[in-house]
Structures are given as C-alpha cells and as structure tokens.
Amino acid sequence: MQLANKKWALDEFMAQRQAVLSAWPTGEEVDLQEGMAYQRGIPNGQRFVTRLKEAKASQVTLVQPRAGVPLVADHLALLKHLETEGEADLLPTTIDSYTRLNRYEEAQRGIEESKATGKAMLNGFPAVNHGVKGCRMVTSALSTPVQVRHGTPDARLLCEITLAGGFTSFEGGGISYNIPYAKNATLQETIHNWQYCDRLTGLYEENGISINREPFGPLTGTLVPPCISNSVAVIEALLAAEQGVKNITVGYGQCGNLVQDVAALKSLESTVEAYLARFGYDGVTVTTVLHQWMGGFPQDEAKAFAVICWGSAVAALAKATKVIVKSPHEALGVPTREANAAGLRATKQTIMMLADQKMADGAALEEEIAVIDAETRQILERTLELGDGDIALGTVRAFEAGVIDVPFAPSRYNLGKIMPARDNEGAVRLLGVGMLPLTEAQKKFHQEKIAQRGRHENRGVSFQMVIDDIYAISKGRLVGRPR
C-alpha cells in the first residue's frame, strides 16, 4: 500500500469493509443501506450540520460538553441532563480509552464491572460494544445532535457503528488521533485508516446525508504553538475533503493569550479555506471550534470556573462556531453530571454576554495573524514538497523530519525536538524550534520574544521555564514566573 491523498475507489473501500466489520460481533449489525435509511429519518434540526451552518450564519457560538459513561441508560440520562440542565447546544458521546485502542474485550470487562459495582469503571461510552442498537437508543432519544468524540487511531469500526447508529458528527483524524493518542501507531497506518472513515462519511454525503467531521485541534493540549495545530488541521481538512467530506469543523485549543488565540482561530479558518480552494475542493463548509484550556487545570472549583469562563470569552470574541467546554472537576476526574452542567452554564452565560461583541481589529491582532499565517504556510509548503505534491505522503515524511513536531506527544513517530514556552505576554512561542522549516527571521522572532521574557524575569532561558509554564494555569496564572 502506497499512501496518497487520493479518493478511494468504491471497491477498494468495500474490500476492506468485511475485515473491519468482523473485528467485533456488533459489526454484523451494520448494513450500509439500512444505516443510510435510518440517517435519512433524522430530522434536519437534529443534525450537526444544520446547527453548525445556522450558527456560522448568525455568528453565534454553540456550546458543547464532553461526556461519556459506560452503560447505555446512564449515558442517555447524562446527556439528557446536559441538554436540559446544561443548556448544551450540541451533545457529545465520549468514547472510553479501551475502545479507542480497539481493546473491545477490556471494554466489555469494564461494562461488566460497572454493572457489578454500580460505579463507572470506564472513562467513556464503549460504543462498539453497545453496537448500532445501543447507539440508536441514545441518539434517537435526544432532540440535540450528538457527535462521537474519542481519540482512536483506528476508528473504522467505531465510525461504521456510530454513523449507522445515528450520530451526525465524527471527531478525529489520522494525525490528530494518532500523535497525541498513541505510542506505536505509524502515520501511514492511521492516515490510511482515517481515509476509510472519511470515505465512509463521503459515501453518506454522496447519498444525501451530510455528516460533520472534526479534526482534533488541540493535539496534546499543552503549549502547542498555533502554527503546528493549524498545519495539522489544514492537512486533515484536505484529506477529508478528498474522500468526499463536505462539512468540516477545524479546531484550536486555547493557549491563553487573547490576541494570539483570536489570531490563531482567524488564521485557521482562512488558511483552511485557502488550501481547500487551492486544491479544488468546492462546496465544503468550514466551521471552527475553540477548546477551552486543554492543559492542566486548577483543582479549586472557583479557579476552574475562571479558566472555563476565560476560554468562553475567547471563543465568543473570536466568533468560533462552537466551544468545547471543561468542567470545574477537570483537574480531579471525569465530572459528575452536575459539575459538567455547571461548566456548560458558566460557558453559556459568558458566550451570551459576549454574543454581540467581537474582538476589535487592531495592529496587534493583524500582526499576530500574519505571524501564524506565514509560519503555517512555511510548514505546509515544505510538507507538500516532501510529499512531491502529495499531502498524505508529505505528512508522513514531515513528521519523520520534524517539519511538523508536536510538543509532549507520546508517539514515537513524532520527533519531539521543539520546545514551546510562553513569552512575556503569555503567547506560546518556541524556545527550541527543532527542525521546523522556519525562516531565519521567524526563528529570531521567537528567540527574541522568549529572551524578552527572560530579561523581565531576570533569568536565563531554560527548560525550567517550560516546566513553570506547564504548571502555571493550575497554579493560578498564565506565565510561569519564577517563584
């Protein structure tokens, strides 16, 4: 198999399908025609795509939690709670970590032990084990559209089951669900497997059923420079579009500096649109999502609310199409439904107070957008070059070469040479640029920004800064100043 960003022939796709569906007994429940018929029965207002398009048009930011528990009835009750008490505009179904690694037997053990102990023993909803029927029990009982959110390097079976199961959006991508979520999976493998998911989504699309796809923007959630996450988003958008996906939500994890965050989101949207246009993918609707702070949270709930609300404010000021919400329990564990709903309500209040306001343009914002635009293009152009024009192939080679490099990633296929740190205003910059294909001027810009902080803090630039920055928000501030 030679990886290429090329639409799969239908029979190539179908040839794989049998193996995919037979990986676990519930695979048998999937029948493509019947699944499509079922999806056609879902009213428009309950589809992800409809809500996102409306929101984009009216410039309102929608609010979406993360949530998943092991048993169907509990999961449904949880989502209903978030719908009514949390005022969620969009709902999730967060998948447990065994399912994410295709360890369905362990997931089964988790289900059994959860039943036996009456405690949730899995950190999410094992959708494959519950099968198409279990999924439909959930999606059909809600008036809010539901998305699958996970972190699965090989999500083919999960995608088959959940799309047939009535979910109208599917998160993930061959890079964003590999590098931060796996250790040993090659990019060849995961990009290939995600082409399957995109092809499946495209197939639904060709049959008149619009399913939303969402690359996972925040990656490791920890000091990821915007040029890195935006590059990955562009690539995954291109990969999805090639397979026929028409509705893509690109994401970004809040870094904490207002100007940088708004700039990153603006740059993200325009860069994705520009590359889609350049490669001739017409008729793709691009929306955006901001993830509230994805790194370590403060344990104190009042302080956690502050982190949540600041993320909400950024989402609203940047006019993101939706925002993914944290809970005041974030630092401690999977939230109770009450804590989850509280995070949602705090977010909703912030969003609505800012609904009619936006970040004012200005020189600082323009400059920051220009910085991110330029760096992202540098990375993407070098990636295309490495792939001899093919973005899929280029991506594999770019990661090998460290042309794309995600900080703190567990994957052995990520070079791990760059080192991010905050500048004196809290924007995420590069203390070490690793092998990123930046110009000398760009490298100097980062160096100077961090040196400036060093001078202000009266200390040399070092790894201690990075450590301080990693802890900073959980300890009550943005920039990890020396104690």
Partner 1 sequence: MDRKTIILGVIGADVHAVGNQILNYAFMDAGFRVVNLGVMVSQEEFIEAAIESAADAIVVSSLYGHGELDCQGFRDKCDEAGLKGILLYVGGNIVVGKQPFAQVEERFRQMGFDRVFGPGTSPEEGIHALKEDLGVT
Q: Least distance (Å) from partner 1 to the CB of residue 333? A: 4
When asked if residue 311 is in the footprint of ligand B12 (CB under 6 A), the reply is: no
When asked if residue 355 is in the footprint of its own copies (CB under 8 A), the reply is: yes
> In the chain, how many H helices and how many E strands?
17, 10
Looking only at the bridges linking them, the beta strands covering 322-324 and 419-422 are unpaired
Residues 277-296 that bind ligand B12 (CB under 6 A): 294-296
Burial class (CB in 10 A: 0-12, 13-18, 19+), 282: exposed
Joined tokens for residue 354: 């800012």
Q: Give the whole-angstrom CA distance, residue 119 versus residue 109.
A: 13
**Amino acid type, 196:** Y
Give 288's strand partners: 250
Residues 411-450 that bind its own copies (CB under 8 A): 424-426
When asked if residue 350 is in the footprint of its own copies (CB under 8 A), the reply is: yes
CB atoms within 10 A of CB 345: 16
Structural contact between residues 326 and 254, judged by C-beta atoms closer than 8 angstroms: no
171 belongs to the catalytic site: yes
Residues 320-349 that bind its own copies (CB under 8 A): 341-349
Residues near partner 1, by CB under 8 A: 96-98, 100-101, 103, 106, 109-110, 113, 119-123, 151, 180-184, 220, 222, 295-296, 299, 329, 331-336, 339, 408-410, 463, 467, 470, 474
When asked if residue 102 is in the footprint of ligand B12 (CB under 6 A), the reply is: no
Q: Least distance (Å) from partner 1 to the CB of residue 160? A: 21
When asked if residue 252 is in the footprint of ligand B12 (CB under 6 A), the reply is: no
Token match 């676990």: residue? 24
256 to 295: interface string for its own copies, x by CB under 8 A: xxxx------------------------------------
Q: E strand or H helix at 195, and its extent?
A: helix 187-206
Q: How many residues bind ligand B12 (CB under 6 A)?
A: 23
Q: Least distance (Å) from partner 1 to the CB of residue 107? A: 10
**Amino acid type, 398:** A
When asked if residue 123 is in the footprint of ligand B12 (CB under 6 A), the reply is: yes
Q: Which residues of 99-120 are buried (b: 16+ CB within 10 A; e: fewer)?
A: bbbbebebbeebbeebeeeeeb
Instruction: Return the number of the residue (331 or 352) whose C-beta is nearest partner 1.
Output: 331
Joined tokens for residue 273: 């649109």
Q: Give the whole-angstrom CA distance, residue 39 versus residue 205.
A: 11
Among residues 47, 51, 66, 100, the one annotated as catalytic is 100
Among 214, 330, 390, 405, binds ligand B12 (CB under 6 A): 330
CB atoms within 10 A of CB 221: 18
- Contact partner, 182, from ligand B12, its own copies, partner 1, none, Cβ < 5-8 Å per class: partner 1
- Contact partner, 121, from ligand B12, its own copies, partner 1, none, Cβ < 5-8 Å per class: partner 1
Among residues 29, 171, 189, 214, the one annotated as catalytic is 171
* 3-class DSSP assignment, residue 214: strand
- Contact partner, 330, from its own copies, ligand B12, partner 1, none, Cβ < 5-8 Å per class: ligand B12
Q: Least distance (Å) from partner 1 to the CB of residue 324? A: 18
Closest-CB residue for ligand B12? 333
Instruction: Return the number of the residue (121 or 478) whose C-beta is nearest its own copies.
Output: 478
Burial class (CB in 10 A: 0-12, 13-18, 19+), 480: buried
When asked if residue 97 is in the footprint of ligand B12 (CB under 6 A), the reply is: yes
| Phi and psi, residue 245, nearest 5° | -75, 135
Q: Least distance (Å) from ligand B12 to the CB of residue 120? A: 9
Token match 């564990």: residue? 333
Q: How far separated are the first and last CA of the chain, in Å rounded?
A: 54
Give 213's strand partners: 170, 248
CB atoms within 10 A of CB 456: 12
119 to 138: interface string for its own copies, x by CB under 8 A: --------------------
278 belongs to the catalytic site: no
- Contact partner, 109, from its own copies, partner 1, ligand B12, none, Cβ < 5-8 Å per class: partner 1
DSSP string, 253-291: E--S-HHHHHHHHHHHHHHHHHHHHHTT--S-EEEEEEE
When asked if residue 81 is in the footprint of its own copies (CB under 8 A), the reply is: no
- Contacting positions for its own copies (CB under 8 A): 256-259, 298, 300-303, 305-307, 309-310, 312-313, 317, 341-350, 352-357, 360-365, 424-426, 473, 476-479
Catalytic residues: 100, 171
Give the binding site for ligand B12 (CB under 6 A): 66, 94, 97, 100, 123, 151, 180-181, 220-222, 294-297, 329-331, 333-334, 408, 410, 470
